[in-house]
Structure 1
Amino acid sequence: MTPSARFAASIDLLTAMEAAPRKPADAVANSFFRERRYIGGGDRRAVSGLVWDIMRAWRRLGWHLEQQKAVLSPRLLAASSLIFKGVSTQEIAALFAEGRFAPGALTRPEQDIIKFLEGKTLLDENMPQAVKLELPDWLLPKLEETFGDALEEELAALSEPATLDLRVNMLRTTRAEAQKALAREGLHAAATPLSPWGLRLNGRQPVTSTSPFKEGIVEIQDEGSQLVAAILGATPQTRVLDYCAGAGGKTLAIAMMMENKGHIAACDVSEKRLEGAVKRLRRAGVHNVEQHLLQAGDKWAKRRSGSFDRVLVDAPCSGTGTWRRNPDARLRTTQQDLDELLVKQAEILDRAASLVKPGGKLVYATCSILNAENTHQVEAFLARRPEFKLVASDSPALPESMKGVKMFSLTPKQNGTDGFFAAMLERTAETVTA
């Protein structure tokens, strides 16, 4: 594709996202590219890269355009994004070419706005704090509670593009051998500093088209997510429940820890997500997993009450810890969304608690950085359920710096991972309240 055609595709993708404001941007992008299979891998990465850069600066770009009383359009957002990257007005005008696969020439009002922005910086001292930090106004005080004086540094790290982390499938190979296999395909990965199974690549890389991925040697999984699986401390002798298994990312890591032995029950309320995990399980060579679709009136959980050594609750959450990968989620999440999630998280925790055997462990985890979903949720659970207590993990898979932790909070700034929270709770009483 020509530079102008790539630019036009970026504007078209932004337009598609604007037409589906409640749909995650990555889902819109997947549909967009499926319908345009003529766009090759390199062009897809270039188009996505520009669009994701715009989403990371959405409020700041919008603020600048509002100063000119401009209508917030995909064309102006794309053009202003380039201006703040130092691209000249002449170069931008050349991208707005005429033609079938081009965006069409800039109008006179568009030219005037771009000219006005030339020489300005994206961050302006007159911006409100929430705009500077790319947050909805209602969320600012909640993140101030989480980070205090470190707020700006933490949010800046959450605005940076994410690394591409892989988990090596130790059922098939070693980390060193997986590195060599990736290198043979031109992907040079470094060992992650915290997870003993992790490898890290910079930027967007075509991992899914490589032999190591197709052969189940590596899976795409953030290092923080790997550590959530690690704190569980599952062994070949344990009976494990992954209560919110989704597409099976942590299920796969747990099966690997268990050396494909013991028994894992992977549950979810979404049949589609569970079906998506089947291919991943087969590719990884995992065969100690039973899948179950949770439904209203289901007797499955009642029959298995108090029977699991380890239960993982990777709870549905705001996803604030994944903003590096999903910058659109910053502005899609509402206060009502959070309020509903807090109720759902508490309900799920209580249901999952009944499945833990006496002496068994329950791990509550989120990919959130909000205290309301993390420490406050654990404190409320412990107040409701006195038969549980916070305990230290004895998992050998945790790095030395995390050995003996009862709970952890990870962030891109502090740990180089997505934002994750996990807490380990032990059931000490024989009776679990309903």
Structure 2
Amino acid sequence: MMPAARLQATIEILDGIAQQQTAPESRRPAERVVNDYLRQRRYIGSKDRRAVTALTYDVLRHHARLSWWLRQGEGSAAAPRQQLLAYLLLCEHEDREALNRLFDGSRYAPPPLTAEEAALVGRLEAAAREAAAPPAWVANEVPEWIMPRFEAAFGAAAEKEAAALLQEAPVDLRVNTLLGSREEAQAALAEEGFVTMPTPLSPRGLRLAGRRAVRSSTAFGAGLVELQDEGSQLAALLCGARPGMAVADVCAGGGGKTLALAAEMQGKGRLLAMDMEQARLDRSAIRLKRAAAEFVERRAVKNLAAADDLHGAFDRVLVDAPCSGSGAWRRHPDARWRLTPEALEGYKTAQREVLRRAAGLVKPGGRLIYVTCSLLPEENREQAEAFLADKPNFAVRPLGEVWVETLSAPYPGDVPYLTLTPSRHGTDGFFVAVFQRGEET
């Protein structure tokens, strides 16, 4: 594809993403829109696919700034073509002549600039010379109502943490120790040309150099590796699941952490994957089979309180709670603009409820592990403190102690809870709290 053709493809994808905002009942994340577009156009080569995808995500990552500049230039922040023009002009520093060459209306290229668009380009150039600096929430690409929450969580480092969420996330793999060691997995991938390096914190992780389609590798197809961010790997490891234990993954979903727990248990003991929706559990069956983890039980449970046979039955109970997903905004840059205060309140209510009900599954002396992929204090520390106030028979187990028990690397976090961030740790944002139930007397 010529550069202009890549621009037209990007405009079409951005238009598809914009249309999702007007159809919330069938909304698809940007990643799915991009994948669907490229899947329907098999003739687009791999190099062009990567270029179009990268440009699309660059525009999405600059959403707040582009919208702010377009308002300064009296443009439309909702028009994908204008967003791309603003990106090329203000972020890639293309001049007006270059834009006219790229938007020339030739085959596969975007149509020429209209008189209105040409005038907009002039206004944007003038605004960039004269306008004051944008506010902090614009510069850091977070919703205005979210910025105070980042400041509450990180203080003077809030802007640094927000800026790290704009970087491209690495591709991390978790080695399935049911089928081989990290060294064996690294060697198998190398034979197919995949260059990897051990992850800094997770002893089960490999980080891929570049962005190649690792799903096409024999190692992935054979179940030796799974795609999983290093932070998510660590959250699963900190459960301390061991062979012979009874372990429950309460919000199992697609099974990412269930698979990690299964590997740590080496197929010995009881591992129960639960979710409210059977369909989500069914989708994990293929992954479990590929990973040689078919010993895992799957069970749809609408109401934990009514599942009498599960009460007090587990040494470890993992609550990978529904949350805002703010810690994963590197991977889903459009998600930050879909989050609303009302949605956040809904997540908080769900978190309180699932924690309260999951506590009943823990044996005396057992542990409840609360995990979110959020960086917002009201989903993390505030929920942990509220749980402890509500459940006096549970006590917090300091994460530094749990880390020493389960991992060999130096503890990189705070006390008594662990917050992983892209800025400090190079992982997605994760929060982990471990609560221990008191022994019965």
TM-score (structure 1 length as normaliser) = 0.93
Alignment-mate amino acid for residue 387 of structure 1: N
Q: CA deviation at 1:363?
A: 0.2
1:322–1:418 CA contact under 8 A, matched in 2 = yes
> Across the two proteins, how many residue pairs are aligned to each other?
430
Q: How does 1:131-210 map to 2 (within 5 A)?
A: 131-210=138-217
Q: How does 1:119-138 map to 2 (within 5 A)?
A: 125-138=132-145
Partner of 1:324, secondary structure, is: coil
Q: CA deviation at 1:102?
A: 2.7
1:71 alignment counterpart:
76
1:380 alignment counterpart:
386
| Corresponding residue to 1:345 among 347, 351, 356 | 351
CA distance in structure 1 between the aligned counterparts of 2:129 and 2:439, rounded to whole angstroms: 57
Q: Deviations over 1:341-382 (max 9, x none)?
A: 101100000111100111111100000001100010000000
2:16 alignment counterpart:
16
Q: Does 1:322 align with 2:322?
A: no
1:402 alignment counterpart:
411
Q: CA deviation at 1:185?
A: 2.1
Alignment-mate amino acid for residue 309 of structure 2: R
Alignment-mate amino acid for residue 192 of structure 1: T
Q: CA deviation at 1:264?
A: 0.6
Q: How does 1:194-273 map to 2 (within 5 A)?
A: 194-273=201-280
Q: 1:170 to 1:122 in 2, by over 3 A?
A: farther
> Which has the larger displacement, 107-116 or 414-423?
107-116
Q: CA deviation at 1:190?
A: 1.1
Partner of 1:187, secondary structure, is: coil
TM-score (structure 2 length as normaliser) = 0.92
Alignment-mate amino acid for residue 63 of structure 1: W
1:89–1:118 CA contact under 8 A, matched in 2 = no
2:309 alignment counterpart:
303
CA distance in structure 1 between the aligned counterparts of 2:237 and 2:148, rounded to whole angstroms: 32
Partner of 1:199, secondary structure, is: strand
> Which has the larger displacement, 29-38 or 159-168?
29-38
Q: Does 1:57 align with 2:62?
A: yes
| Corresponding residue to 2:426 among 372, 394, 416 | 416
Alignment-mate amino acid for residue 435 of structure 2: L
1:37 alignment counterpart:
42
Q: Does 1:284 align with 2:291?
A: yes
> Which has the larger displacement, 420-429 or 362-371?
420-429
Partner of 2:154, secondary structure, is: helix
1:47 alignment counterpart:
52
Q: CA deviation at 1:41?
A: 3.4
2:7–2:110 CA contact under 8 A, matched in 1 = yes
2:313–2:362 CA contact under 8 A, matched in 1 = yes
CA distance in structure 1 between the aligned counterparts of 2:117 and 2:33, rounded to whole angstroms: 27
Q: CA deviation at 1:100?
A: 5.2
CA distance in structure 2 between the aligned counterparts of 1:233 and 1:429, rounded to whole angstroms: 18
Q: 1:255 to 1:430 in 2, by over 3 A?
A: same
2:74–2:120 CA contact under 8 A, matched in 1 = no
Identity of counterpart residues, as a percentage?
A: 46
1:370 alignment counterpart:
376
CA distance in structure 1 between the aligned counterparts of 2:159 and 2:176, rounded to whole angstroms: 37
Alignment-mate amino acid for residue 20 of structure 2: A
Partner of 1:138, secondary structure, is: coil
Unaligned runs of 5+ in 1: none
Unaligned runs of 5+ in 2: none
Q: 1:399 to 1:414 in 2, by over 3 A?
A: farther
Q: Deviations over 1:373-396 (max 9, x none)?
A: 001000000000001001142664
Q: CA deviation at 1:165?
A: 0.7
2:322–2:347 CA contact under 8 A, matched in 1 = yes
1:123–1:132 CA contact under 8 A, matched in 2 = no
CA distance in structure 1 between the aligned counterparts of 2:429 and 2:301, rounded to whole angstroms: 27
CA distance in structure 1 between the aligned counterparts of 2:367 and 2:292, rounded to whole angstroms: 27
1:331 alignment counterpart:
337
Partner of 1:421, secondary structure, is: strand
Q: CA deviation at 1:47?
A: 1.5
Q: 1:277 to 1:395 in 2, by over 3 A?
A: farther
Cα-Cα RMSD: 2.3
1:231–1:395 CA contact under 8 A, matched in 2 = no
Q: CA deviation at 1:74?
A: 0.6
2:86 alignment counterpart:
80
Q: CA deviation at 1:65?
A: 1.0
Q: CA deviation at 1:323?
A: 0.8
2:374–2:430 CA contact under 8 A, matched in 1 = yes
Q: 1:131 to 1:227 in 2, by over 3 A?
A: same
Partner of 2:333, secondary structure, is: coil
1:426 alignment counterpart:
436
Q: Deviations over 1:88-134 (max 9, x none)?
A: 43333233232553321111222233345459879975312211111
